[in-house]
Chains A and B, each alone.
Chain A
């Protein structure tokens, strides 16, 4: 045992209680499954003056079918996602991503809302959520709820467009078009427990042999997860053409870090993209 935070924990038993506590203790850090927070505390990287524990707010977990899509509660775990038939059907790429997060013990505890709020450029669900046109619902006691498109959520390295009195409440996934093909690919050092060197999410609509709509997003290749608008534009209006991957280098800005090099990331991102596009033809 290195560090035990002695800070107070305010326990929320419902979303409403959580929003009241969030407004009353803006300095306190939300705590969901704790799989990021506990690691940061143990490493001495953070020492917040208080925590708002959301784990017991069970109305923030679970999947609901409404408004022309699926609503996934922020507290829904990876294991919950993997086991929900509606998610498996509507968002197979998200389920694939969930199955690669950490290992079983992390999937049993880590939450979708935690992955989004943690805002790591390597967060595995984030490019998939972008590719699926997800919207993140946030709420505050004072101003109620608002919806932020996933591709407008991250404003810089580990920063989100969420106010200090707001919480992430749930995520909306629009029902996919029947002609949509979804894809997820993660490249790490081993199959389990690996932080991505490159993570890729995509959704392509194929009608009469032509791409009519495309979303391409990558993680670990820039300060935030990024959508690749030039690649998307190059794909649409023609048969799937791996040459569209040539535009990728304009859309991404990888760096060298402990896990990999910028060069490796550029090469591998382009190859995963090419091989996905080739698989469509």
Chain B
């Protein structure tokens, strides 16, 4: 079946089984491999994408349901070279270690930022409760998201050497 939708602002058209998981269509057919698979059953949030602005697990969405809809993945967060504030904050606070969970956290945090300009720390934790991380212990992720939400971290240009150096030192 031919399914048309909008991916990160671009019109795309795929030939897929209607019940194919959006996760597989993104990764296999559209080669947008930023979205990760962890559990495949809605528990871990690694596959989080926004559909019409709402964070959902792409492993649980049959592709037929995104026909005509707007899908945003981690690849769509940065605008040209300008990183999304949560991306900058993850760099600054060491919110990523192995990185498998990171795209899901970034997308879930982006929804939060769009919805709640000033959530409490508890609300941040609640909004990210569907995202699991085996590496960081969550503290740095929550710190990063809180910083992005309070506007402490502004959207930035492409990461410079200093940022990447700092990011690699947190591994």
Q: Which residues on A are within 8 Å of B, measured CB to CB? A: 1-2, 4-9, 11, 31, 33-35, 38-39, 41-43, 51, 53, 55-56, 79, 102-106, 108-109, 191-193
Interface centre among A35, A56, A105 (most CB of B within 10 A): A105
Q: A104-B129, A192-B130 are in contact. Are A34 and B40 (CB under 8 A)?
A: no
Q: Do A11 and B130 touch across chains, with their CB atoms under 8 A apart?
A: no
Q: Do B130 and A105 touch across chains, with their CB atoms under 8 A apart?
A: yes
Q: Do A53 and B65 touch across chains, with their CB atoms under 8 A apart?
A: yes
Q: A31-B62, A108-B55, A191-B129 are in contact. Are A42 and B48 (CB under 8 A)?
A: no
Q: Which of A38, A55, A191 contacts B60 (CB 8 A)?
A: A38
Q: Do A55 and B130 touch across chains, with their CB atoms under 8 A apart?
A: no
Q: Do B41 and A7 touch across chains, with their CB atoms under 8 A apart?
A: no
Q: Do A103 and B129 touch across chains, with their CB atoms under 8 A apart?
A: yes
Q: Do A38 and B21 touch across chains, with their CB atoms under 8 A apart?
A: yes
Residues of B within 8 A of A56 (CB): 65, 67
Q: Do A9 and B40 touch across chains, with their CB atoms under 8 A apart?
A: no
Q: Do B57 and A106 touch across chains, with their CB atoms under 8 A apart?
A: yes
Give chain B nearest CB distance to A46 CB in angstroms.
11
Q: A34-B60, A105-B108 are in contact. Are A42 and B40 (CB under 8 A)?
A: yes
Interface centre among A55, A79, A103 (most CB of B within 10 A): A103
Q: Which of B1, B24, B42 contacts A105 (CB 8 A)?
A: B42
Range for the number of chain B residues in contact with chain A: 20 to 34
Q: Do B60 and A1 touch across chains, with their CB atoms under 8 A apart?
A: no
- What is the chain A residue whose CB lies nearest that of B64? A9
Q: B87-129 CB contact bits vs A (8 Å, 1 = yes)?
A: 0000000000000000000001001000000000000001111
At the interface, yes or no: B86 with Cβ under 8 Å from chain A? no
Q: Do A39 and B41 touch across chains, with their CB atoms under 8 A apart?
A: yes
Interface centre among B18, B67, B108, B127 (most CB of A within 10 A): B18
A204 CA to B116 CA, complexed, in Å: 34
Give chain A nearest CB distance to B18 CB in angstroms.
4
